[in-house]
């Protein structure tokens, strides 16, 4: 049961890397012609946005995986597949609501 509050609390600091990674994915989609691109983002340096977004996402993923691994391996009756499928949902949904509310 500790995984649910842990991941809901992790959604608060994870909203910033998710915001940066969404901006990076928007720039990539704009460069590929799949979405409309904001010209100010490209003028400010799309390479920096993509690099920061992907680095923040990688670092956040490693921290979230490490913290959840501490609790997942200590609970022998925990179903690993169900737990690891709910981890991204418990982090992404509140973080996306927080990003959308800005």
pLDDT digits 0-9 by tens, 22-35? 877 887 888 888 98
The pLDDT of residue 88 is 84
Q: Are 56 and 17 in contact (CB under 8 A)?
A: yes
pLDDT above 70 coverage of the chain, percent: 91
Question: The pTM is what?
Answer: 0.68
Q: How many other β-carbons are positioned within 10 Å of the β-carbon of residue 66?
A: 9
Distance from C-alpha of 68 to C-alpha of 98, rounded to nearest angstrom? 22
**What local confidence, expressed as pLDDT, does residue 1 receive?**
61
Mean pLDDT of the chain: 80
Q: What is the pLDDT of residues 70-86, one digit of tens each?
A: 877 776 676 777 778 88
What was the pLDDT predicted at 2? Answer: 67
> Residue 95 to residues 17, 69, 92: CA-CA distances in angstroms?
10, 21, 5
């Amino acid at each position: 049961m500790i995984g649910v509050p842990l991941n809901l609390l992790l959604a608060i600091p994870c909203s910033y890397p998710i915001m940066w990674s969404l901006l990076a994915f928007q720039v990539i989609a704009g460069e590929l012609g799949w979405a409309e691109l904001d010209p100010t983002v490209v003028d400010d340096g799309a390479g920096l946005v993509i690099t920061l977004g992907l680095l923040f996402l990688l670092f956040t993923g490693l921290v979230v995986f490490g913290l959840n691994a501490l609790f997942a391996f200590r609970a022998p009756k925990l179903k690993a597949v169900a737990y690891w499928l709910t981890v991204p949902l418990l982090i992404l949904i509140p973080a996306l609501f927080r990003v959308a509310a800005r």
